[in-house]
Chain A
Amino acid sequence: MQRRFVSIWFRQLLADWQLIRRPELKDVPFVFAAPDHGRMMITAVCPIASDFGVEVGMRAADAKAICPGLEVLDDKQGRPKTLLKGLGEWCVRYSPIVAIDEFGMDGLLLDVSGCTHLWGGERGYLKEIVSRLKSKGYTVRLAIADTPGAAWAVSHYGKVTPLIPTGEQVDALLDLVPDALRLEETVLAKLRKLGFYQIKSFIGMPRSVLRRRFGEDFLLRLAQAIGTENEVLVPLQVPIPFSERLACLEPIKTRNGIEIAINKLLEKLCMRMQAEGKGLRTGVLTCYRIDGKVVRVDIGTSGATHSISHLFKLFQLKIDQIRPALGIELFVLDAPKVDDVEVPQEEMWTSTPGLDDKSVIRLLDRVAGKVGFQVIHRYLPATKYWPERSAQRAVSVTEKSVTTWRVNKPRPTELLKIPVPIEVMAIIPDHPPKFFIYKGVRHMVAKADGPERIEREWWLDQGEHRDYYQVEDEQGGRYWLFRSGHYGSDNKYKWFIHGFFA
């Protein structure tokens, strides 16, 4: 595809920005000035002040003398770059690759290859950008050409047409001044001194001659403008390979509208991913609102998938977080993380259910999306006797256990997280208690089993061992009690209830 580039030149970037913020300055001449070697040097001029002859690079004191009532505002280092970054991010709607013009620091360069037809051709495209930026308050000059260099040149110095047809950038450059080639001031001075006022006067010269007089950089800039050398734009936002956008004619405000938008985006994205055998792991939906704010929601899946219905359900849980305010004009769906989809062999009969069943994985995704991944627990046997540590959390849903669950010792179906102290009466040391009082209720022990001694893991923590007893009271309630430490040892032993048997 023939590559096409647009250069947007903000003629008075700072002045326009200030006028948008403070419309009362409309009829007042003002300049921006920054201290330089103890003087205030002018860095930006508003149109009224420039009519008086105030220029960038003058001293503020001189300018005040020329232009009565001149307002001098403080400039800040790096302000144009921040402004251009914001404008560039807004311009992502026109093309995914938007770069700041690093040379002049007052414009944007867009790689618009294959984008213009969406706005009805290049003329309509440029018109749309100009009118949108103008309605915001920025005066801009645009040009479209095969190379960023030519687009830049025509936008800054072109006088005939901003539309340079494919392959005609050399003709368009011929009548322009050498400044249009983005050259350094020393080279420009040399060119002017030699009488080269137009590009056509030196473009036909042998390269070796030009290199000797003006240096390698000059040749590079010339070649970039003509198109014999490739120029790489550094995009503000690195485009994500799996990304879909949906611009809306009317701002979307309703839940229904958002759902339709998500569905349409997912259809397109999933079709592409399916064709390439990829599946989504994380997805980000970015909604650009008409008041300039950006709302983002993201989803994650535990396995790569390109199922529209599943991904839609995950987004559906997040729609509540999208505040459309006055309306959303652009939806962008990105898949920053994709993985290869494992396509299982189709099974002739019903598949065997299990933890890795597709519907179970989807359920876990939905729960993780709505409540959080931390609520999902699964336990595997651990090689420990200490009850609290006898089950360990599984890391993933597919993790297999390396050991088996012990079944030779009875364990209560309900285990208290923290053992609760109880009062007991035991007649003989090391015998199960005769009765115990738990929560103010006296339980007479009718049957008992035990003790089962479980030693504390001294390499993990300090403390007494536990002697566990299974007891059954007269009503049939079955409990798991333990005595901490030896009977009759110096430190006072204590009884606890730790669980309930079925």
Chain B
Amino acid sequence: MDAKRELFQKLQQDILLWQGFNPVSAGKAERIGLGEIENSFPGSVFPKKAIHEFITVLPEHSAASDGFIAGLLAVLMENGAACVWASTSRRLFPASLSLFNVEPERIIFMDVETEKDVLWITEEALKCEGLAAVVAEVNNLSLIESRRLQLAVESSGVTGFILRKDENKTTSTVATARWRISPLPSHTEDGMPGLGFPRWQVELLKVRNGNPGSFVLEWAGEKFEEVKKAKKQIVWSEMEGRQIG
């Protein structure tokens, strides 16, 4: 029995390796700061060498996705690497990224005219090993295009984030994970006025070889914090150095 199980495990590991997942080496488990969500991925490791797809239809959703990605970028760009943000109609406000511990000057924005150029830049950038991550805002992504991006990622190890605007055309893509981030009402201490930390419903719609799920997450000023039940939380208005209009 044991021999059979070992064989299964080995085969599973091989398949994961071919699909771009790096095996977890003992004692070197890199955490991305997503807490419980990371357990949904195979091997309980956030796949960095992969394409992550975000469904953003409403501007509220895309703003929430931007915030969530920025939180991930903070970890990915920790070593000083740069990031490319390609888009045809960018609304991201660079100054806001510093709230998520990302240095906005290390993000190179490429604002082009056509979707074709966005995809070309994304593929080229994903092949560029000096980058930490690439974010692309597109309307739609076909299977072939996504496969090209995935192949580029597998050779370089750059993390790719695709913000997809069009949900109706549910084309299948080879993205490793598909997310939907929607804003949730923030929580403040009882009776306290103002807004709390940004809180999102993080839906992991699809994970290759993993378990999809839905989580409630908060950006607690410095890091992601999963919201499980009512507990004491720091409020925006209590943060140090914060001015109240």
Given contacts A375-B111, A378-B105, A378-B109, contact A447 B63 (CB under 8 A): no
- Residues in A neighbouring B200, C-beta threshold 8 A: 502
Interface size class of B (residues with CB under 8 A): 35 or more
Given contacts A409-B243, A414-B59, A501-B198, contact A447 B79 (CB under 8 A): no
Contact with B along A475-487 (1 / 0, CB 8 A): 1111000000000
- Residues in A neighbouring B112, C-beta threshold 8 A: 371, 375
Contact with A along B68-94 (1 / 0, CB 8 A): 101000000001111010000001111
- Complex contact B111–A377 (CB within 8 A): yes
**A455 part of interface (Cβ distance < 8 Å):** no
**A450 part of interface (Cβ distance < 8 Å):** yes
**B110 part of interface (Cβ distance < 8 Å):** yes
- Complex contact A502–B64 (CB within 8 A): yes
- Complex contact B105–A380 (CB within 8 A): yes
**B42 part of interface (Cβ distance < 8 Å):** no
Q: A388 — nearest CB in chain B belongs to which residue? A: B93
Given contacts A355-B106, A477-B183, contact A448 B125 (CB under 8 A): no
CB distance from B173 to the nearest CB of A (A): 24
Indicate which residue in A367, A450, A474 contacts B124 across the interface (CB closer than 8 Å): A367
Assembled-state Cα–Cα distance A394/B80 (Å): 18
- Residues in A neighbouring B162, C-beta threshold 8 A: none
- Residues in A neighbouring B105, C-beta threshold 8 A: 378-381, 394, 401
Other A-B contacts than A371-B112, A476-B186, A477-B60, 16 sampled, CB-CB below 8 A, are A363-B131, A375-B112, A375-B117, A377-B109, A381-B104, A387-B93, A391-B94, A397-B108, A411-B95, A411-B99, A412-B93, A447-B196, A449-B236, A477-B183, A500-B91, A501-B198
**A468 part of interface (Cβ distance < 8 Å):** yes
Assembled-state Cα–Cα distance A359/B155 (Å): 14
- Complex contact A353–B80 (CB within 8 A): yes
Q: B200 — nearest CB in chain A belongs to which residue? A: A502
- Complex contact B182–A476 (CB within 8 A): yes
Assembled-state Cα–Cα distance A133/B81 (Å): 59
- Complex contact B66–A468 (CB within 8 A): no
Indicate which residue in B70, B117, B195 contacts A447 across the interface (CB closer than 8 Å): B195
- Complex contact A468–B245 (CB within 8 A): yes
**B184 part of interface (Cβ distance < 8 Å):** yes
- Residues in A neighbouring B103, C-beta threshold 8 A: 405
- Complex contact A362–B106 (CB within 8 A): no
**B130 part of interface (Cβ distance < 8 Å):** yes
- Residues in A neighbouring B98, C-beta threshold 8 A: 405-407
CB distance from B45 to the nearest CB of A (A): 21
- Complex contact A363–B95 (CB within 8 A): no
- Residues in B neighbouring A434, C-beta threshold 8 A: none
Assembled-state Cα–Cα distance A355/B111 (Å): 18
Given contacts A378-B105, A413-B96, A414-B59, contact A359 B186 (CB under 8 A): no
**B41 part of interface (Cβ distance < 8 Å):** no
A-B contact pairs, 23 of them (CB 8 A): A353-B79, A353-B81, A355-B108, A360-B82, A360-B130, A363-B125, A364-B108, A375-B112, A377-B109, A379-B95, A379-B107, A391-B93, A405-B95, A409-B243, A411-B93, A412-B96, A449-B193, A449-B244, A452-B245, A472-B186, A475-B183, A478-B63, A478-B183
- Complex contact A354–B124 (CB within 8 A): no
**A77 part of interface (Cβ distance < 8 Å):** no
Contact with B along A349-360 (1 / 0, CB 8 A): 000111101111
CB distance from A443 to the nearest CB of B (A): 10
Contact with B along A443-475 (1 / 0, CB 8 A): 000111111110000000000000010101011
Number of A-B pairs, beta carbon distance below 8 Å: 198
Given contacts A354-B80, A370-B120, A405-B104, contact A414 B91 (CB under 8 A): yes
CB distance from A402 to the nearest CB of B (A): 11
- Residues in B neighbouring A354, C-beta threshold 8 A: 80-82, 106, 130
- Complex contact A357–B82 (CB within 8 A): yes
Assembled-state Cα–Cα distance A394/B103 (Å): 14
**B202 part of interface (Cβ distance < 8 Å):** no
**B205 part of interface (Cβ distance < 8 Å):** no
Assembled-state Cα–Cα distance A416/B89 (Å): 10
Given contacts A353-B80, A449-B195, contact A359 B129 (CB under 8 A): yes
Shortest 3 CB-CB contacts between residues of A and residues of B: A502-B67, A357-B130, A500-B63
Q: Is the interface of A mostly helix, strand, loop or mixed?
A: mixed
- Complex contact B185–A500 (CB within 8 A): no
Given contacts A411-B95, A413-B92, A447-B188, contact A358 B109 (CB under 8 A): no
Interface size class of A (residues with CB under 8 A): 35 or more
**B242 part of interface (Cβ distance < 8 Å):** yes
- Complex contact B186–A413 (CB within 8 A): no
Assembled-state Cα–Cα distance A107/B230 (Å): 95
CB distance from A338 to the nearest CB of B (A): 24
- Residues in B neighbouring A381, C-beta threshold 8 A: 95, 104-105
**B121 part of interface (Cβ distance < 8 Å):** yes
**B62 part of interface (Cβ distance < 8 Å):** yes
- Complex contact B93–A476 (CB within 8 A): no
Assembled-state Cα–Cα distance A470/B241 (Å): 18
Residues 392-418 (chain A) with a chain B CB within 8 angstroms: 394, 397, 401, 405-417
- Complex contact A446–B132 (CB within 8 A): no
Q: A450 — nearest CB in chain B belongs to which residue? A: B245
Q: B245 — nearest CB in chain A belongs to which residue? A: A452
Indicate which residue in A358, A367, A405 contacts B130 across the interface (CB closer than 8 Å): A358
- Residues in B neighbouring A401, C-beta threshold 8 A: 105
Assembled-state Cα–Cα distance A448/B186 (Å): 11
Assembled-state Cα–Cα distance A475/B183 (Å): 8
Indicate which residue in B81, B91, B124 contacts A363 across the interface (CB closer than 8 Å): B124
**B213 part of interface (Cβ distance < 8 Å):** no
**A499 part of interface (Cβ distance < 8 Å):** yes
Assembled-state Cα–Cα distance A390/B93 (Å): 10
- Complex contact B93–A355 (CB within 8 A): no
Assembled-state Cα–Cα distance A255/B186 (Å): 59
- Complex contact B128–A413 (CB within 8 A): no
CB distance from A33 to the nearest CB of B (A): 58
- Residues in A neighbouring B121, C-beta threshold 8 A: 367, 371
Residues 409-439 (chain A) with a chain B CB within 8 angstroms: 409-417
Given contacts A354-B80, A355-B106, A394-B105, contact A453 B245 (CB under 8 A): yes
**A66 part of interface (Cβ distance < 8 Å):** no
- Residues in A neighbouring B94, C-beta threshold 8 A: 379, 391
Q: A453 — nearest CB in chain B belongs to which residue? A: B245
**B35 part of interface (Cβ distance < 8 Å):** no
Residues 175-226 (chain B) with a chain A CB within 8 angstroms: 182-186, 188, 193-196, 198-200, 219
Indicate which residue in A394, A397, A448, A502 contacts B66 across the interface (CB closer than 8 Å): A502
